[in-house]
Structure 1
C-alpha cells in the first residue's frame, strides 16, 4: 500500500509562478543584501541561496496578491455575507446535511 503524501500548504512552500510563454523560466541576476551570519550559516548547511530567495520572494508575492485581491473584493464579500445573514444560504433547502 503506498504511503500517503504529505501536502505542504502553498503559503508554507510556494513555488515560482509558471507561464506558457516561458517568461517565468527565464532568470535575471540581481543583488540581494543579507547578513553575513545568515550567508555563512546557509553555506554551512548547503542551502542554495538563489533557490531559497526565489521561494521566499514567490511567497511574498503570493501573500501580497491575496492581500490586494481581498482589498479589491472586500465590498462584494461583505455584501454576500450580509445577504446570507439576512436570508440564509440560497440553496439551503437542497442540502442533505
Structure 2
C-alpha cells in the first residue's frame, strides 16, 4: 500500500460505521476494508494538514505574490527560454 511512512505504526482497533452494501461489495471485490479506510483517512488528514498550512501561511504567501507582481521573479533576467 502507498501510504506516508508516518502512518505505518501500530494499529488501533476502531469502530467505524459504513454502508453495509458498500462493505459487501468491497469484500466481493477482494478489497481490504481496513486498508481502504486507512488510505482514505490518510488522504483526508493530508488534505486537512495542507489546508491548515496554507491558512497559517496565507499572509506570507500573499506578501510574496505581491512582491512578484510588482518586481517579477528574482533572477528573471538570467532565465534562458
TM-score w.r.t. the length of structure 2 is: 0.90
Alignment of 1:5-16 (within 5 A): 15=3
- Give 1:18's aligned residue: 5
Higher relative contact order (CA 8 A, sep 6+): 1
Higher helix residue share: 2
Structure 1 position 24, deviation (Å): 3.8
Q: Which runs of 5+ in 1 are unaligned?
A: 1-12
C-alpha distance in 2 between matches for 1:76 and 1:41: 47
Moved >3 Å (runs of 4+) = none
C-alpha distance in 2 between matches for 1:56 and 1:89: 38
Q: Which runs of 5+ in 2 are unaligned?
A: none
2:68 matched to 1:84?
Answer: yes
* 3-state SS of 1:25 partner: coil
RMSD between superposed Cα atoms in Å? 1.8
C-alpha distance in 1 between matches for 2:42 and 2:2: 6
Number of aligned pairs? Answer: 81
- Give 1:42's aligned residue: 26
- Give 2:53's aligned residue: 69
